[in-house]
Amino acid sequence: MDRVNCFHCGEECVDGPINYSEKSFCCTGCKTVFEILNSNDLSYYYDLENAPGNSPKLSEEKYDFLENEEIIEKLLEFDHGDSQIVSFRIPSIHCSSCIWILENLNKLHKAVKSSQVDFPKKKLRISFSAEELSLKELVILLGRIGYEPNISLENFEEEKKGIDRSLIYKLGVAGFAFGNIMFLSFPEYFEIKEFWLEQFKHLFRWLTFSFALPVVFYSGKDYFVSAYKGLRSGLLNIDVPIALGIAVLFLRSTAEIIMDTGTGFFDSLSGLVFFLLLGKFFQQKTYSFLSFERDYKSYFPIAVTRIFSEEGQQKEEQVQVYKIKKGDRVIIRNEELIPMDAILIKGDAKIDYSFVTGEAEPVKKYSGDRLYAGGRQQGSIIEVEALKPVKQSYLTELWSDEVFSKDKSSAFQTLTNQISKRFTYAVLSIAFISAIFWMMYDPGKAWNVFTAVLIIACPCAIALAAPFTLGNLLRIFGRNHLYLKDTTVIEQAAKIDTVVFDKTGTITTNQRDSIKYEGIELSIEEQELLTGSLRASNHPLSRALYKVLQKNSISTPEVFHEHVGQGLETSSKDLSLKIGSAAFVKEKFINGTSVQKREELEKTSVHISSNDQYKGCFTFHNSYREGLSSLFTSLGKNKELIILSGDNDGEQERLEQLLPGGIRMFFNQKPGDKLQFIKDLQKQNKRVMMVGDGLNDAGALAQSDVGIVISEDINVFSPACDGILDARNFGKFHDFFELSSKAISVIKWSFILSLCYNLIGLGFAVSGNLMPVVAAILMPLSSISIVGFTTLATQILGKRLKH
């Protein structure tokens, strides 16, 4: 009887095939998966790769524990109404088709809203509706398509991450073999004709062959697997020419030893694999260290206001989120992010979970309700009690959420892929042309030349240049308190030709503002409600004014509404206040006369009206950040600078005196106006960076090519931005630009350096003069010199920031 393989999983149908739709399946599970995929127009899955997941022989009873509410609560990251979020580790994820099928789960079941794969961690994050699909049913669905999750609750509360030492083992094997092969091959490099060496020459050659076997089939197997998967998916990735070089090295060297025509290139082979793995190890360590530096628990500039008692009085302090412990009382203001799971103690909570679910409709919460990390308060101030410390990894995922993703593909990743594709075609062309040439003139050299070209032309140095340079620079920026989303931001920053600055809270500081009140004296009740209202707002002017008035008693508003870019409307009992800009407050008139005068328009002021009666205004005399004038002078040499402010033009004359000429200024800009302004600049083919405070500038920050938030000591976390700069390092802004540009130059020089190595090596190879000693020197030298060059160059560039 002929062997029949399952169409889905590829396994032999031992018990007889199940025929369906002219296809054979080994079990009903595989047949069910095919039906699901076929009925949902996902049959393209089989064009990518046959059965990337596991064979779906699933016992549904084993997941009965997922009907336990206590266990479900522990597994869910987010649980509110019809929106639930859960993350699973899927061990069987291993290729592009795995990612494709898992990120199309919404086509398999309408209850799945979205799904995202973290390929390096083999992690799947799913947003779904538990009203239509239970957690158990979701897990069974994954199991049926071959991606059964690994769920372990035994150590759920204290997860221990296993250390993957496979790369270290592979590196150790390659290094051990490299050293021994070099030692055994050394006499043949210089053709030493010593009696005993000649007697044992063949033994030494076979020893080098035995050392090379684990290097190829163990240490270097990942390159073959990656190249195979790339070719199978129709992609010519950077590992294809590397795998080709390793294979030809091994085959030619083995042939030389068998036919006793030479010692082969096992030294070069082991050296190539060793330095490739060394580069990968260094890169892994760099990114591991980098992830620690970008770790929110380390020093990310996110702060919250913690409440504590001292001498019988309730006081507030700004603390970094990692210091929050279970049981701490924290106040959350309007538009602030809730950084940890908490219980609402008091206040009118309207939580916007759009960062988590993508749905922007605020959810009303009551005292005693659970609030999840990632929600934003929309309304007056609330007091919460932390249920557990801040989960930094969860906040990191918020920044990476698809809701805030922008198409900012890495130019050098694309360039590397393009180079690898063209490089492979070029190398193969050179190899065949050279072989044809030597077949005509000296057939004895044709095979040697053909294989030598494939051996020496390895693009590993090209593959290392961009990730090492940008990764190092990202780490250096982090040390200097500029926290960027990823390495692509550095590339984008290097292309910027227009920088747009917000004014209040960006180029101004609220630390040293001089504030003066002009108008009718406020009653005690008005002062208390005013202070309580300002306490709930996160606008820079509100925060600055609150610092002056916080000595007053506080009355928490019963009704609080903040009009973005305009002001606040609050009320408590029979008292209502309007606080904000002149245009916002002046809507009401007193005795038919407008309360607004021209001289008041020309100042940065916060105006107050009480029960529709105008009271007066607090006038601010802005303090601009130290080094602002010199920063604008430096930036203005090769970039267009623009100030885009929501305030009135009262500070325009002062700014014109303070800043160099030629800077365009626009005032009275609402958030929507700022967003449209950025779009208009981009239509003019401008590369725009928006620098704001993250409050009223979210739209403009998200629209810009690079959005940077200036942070002081408040909880300003906005996934709409690409980076956060500590306000203390505002004066270094130009240095960050320069370093980004120079980093791109370092990468380009690395490409040129790598190209020089390849040209030199190809010169030896094409001419038929590639000796083992030349290959042994050039191949590893190209990799290690690129790593050394990029590391040293970025370290030298980084020293400038320290000064």
Q: What is the 3-state secondary structure (H, E, C) of 163-179?
A: CCCHHHHHHHHHHHHHH
DSSP 491-544: HHHHT--EEEE-STTTTEEEEEEEEEEEESPPPHHHHHHHHHHHHH--SHHHHH
What does the pLDDT read at residue 393? 46
Give the pair of three-digit tokens for residue 718: 């906005």
Strand partners, 80: 83
Torsional sign, CA 688, 692, 698, 699: negative
- Of the candidates 679, 694, 677, 691, the one whose C-alpha atom is nearest the C-alpha of residue 564 is 694
Cα–Cα dist 494/741, whole Å: 5
What pLDDT score was predicted for residue 234?
65
Residue type, 803: H
Q: What are residue 620's DSSP bridge partners? A: 515, 604
Q: Where are the beta strands (DSSP E) in 675-792?
A: 688-692, 706-711, 723-726
Predicted structure pTM score: 0.60
Helix (H) or strand (E) holding 312: none
In a 3-state reduction of DSSP, which class is residue 293?
helix
Lookup: tokens for 269:
């082979």
Burial status of residue 668 (CB atoms within 10 A of its CB: 0-12, 13-18, 19 or more):
middle
Task: Please give the pLDDT value at position 597.
Answer: 45
Q: How far apart are CA 367 and CA 345, in angstroms?
A: 5
Query: Which stretches of 574-639 are assigned E, i.e. beta strand?
Result: 575-580, 604-610, 613-624
Please answer whether residues 545 and 534 qualify as being in contact, where contact means their C-beta atoms are separated by less than 8 angstroms.
yes
- What burial class does residue 777 get, using C-beta atoms within 10 Å of its C-beta: 0-12 exposed, 13-18 middle, 19+ buried? middle
How crowded is the C-beta side of 739, counted as CA atoms within 13 Å?
A: 28
What pLDDT is recorded for position 645?
85
CATH value of 476-507+624-740 in 2.60.40.1180, 3.40.50.1000, 3.40.640.10, 3.40.50.10800: 3.40.50.1000
Average pLDDT across each block of 10 residues of the chain; the chain has 803 residues. List them in order: 65 67 66 64 55 50 76 80 83 68 80 80 85 87 80 49 74 88 71 64 83 91 81 68 79 84 77 76 57 38 72 74 82 80 86 66 83 80 84 54 52 59 77 86 78 69 72 81 80 89 81 74 88 81 80 78 81 88 66 42 75 85 82 89 83 84 86 87 92 75 86 57 82 87 86 79 78 60 76 82 61
Where does 509-623 sit in CATH, by number? Answer: 3.40.1110.10
Which fold does the domain 18-144 belong to in CATH?
A: Alpha-Beta Plaits (3.30.70)
Fold of 303-402: 2.70.150
Reading phi first (left if > 0) and then psi (alpha if -120 to 50, else beta), residue 685 is in: left
Boundaries of every domain in the chain: 18-144, 166-292+414-469+742-802, 303-402, 476-507+624-740, 509-623
Residues 686 and 499 sit within 8 Å (Cβ to Cβ): no
Is residue 509 within 8 A of residue 727, CB to CB? The reply is yes
Positive or negative, the CA dihedral 612, 618, 619, 624 is negative
Q: What is the pLDDT of residue 295?
A: 36
Give CA–CA dist 606/750, Å, rounded: 55
